[in-house]
Amino acid sequence: MLPAARLASVSRRLRRGIATLNQEGRKRLLAAFDQLNTHFGELFVRLFGGGKAELAWAGDDDPLEAGLDIMASPPGKRLEALSLLSGGEQALTALALIFAVFLTNPAPICVLDEVDAPLDDANIHRFLRVLRELTSQTQFIVITHNRKTMEIADRLYGVTMEEPGVSKLISVQLN
Tens digit of pLDDT for each residue in 40-82? 999 999 999 999 999 999 888 888 888 999 999 999 998 888 8
Give the domain range for residue 12.
1-105
Return all residues near 111 (Cβ < 8 A) that are at least 6 apart: 140, 141, 142, 143
Residues 63 and 116 in one domain: no
Is pLDDT at 174 greater than 90 in this prediction?
no
Residues 159 and 135 in one domain: yes
Distance CA 54, CA 5 (A): 50
Residue 44, judged by CB atoms within 10 A of its CB (0-12, 13-18, 19+), counts as buried
Q: CA nearest 146: which of 166, 127, 174, 173?
A: 127
109-116 mean pLDDT: 94
pLDDT reported for residue 1: 60
Residues 48 and 132 in one domain: no
3-state secondary structure of 63: coil
- Give the residue from 47, 78, 105 where a domain finishes: 105
pTM, to two decimals: 0.81
Residues 99 and 119 in one domain: no
The model's pLDDT over 158-167, given as tens digits with 9 standing for 90+, comes to 888 888 888 9
Is pLDDT at 130 greater than 70 in this prediction?
yes
Average pLDDT, the chain: 90
Beta bridge partners of residue 72, listed in sequence order: 53, 80
Residues 115 and 147 in one domain: yes
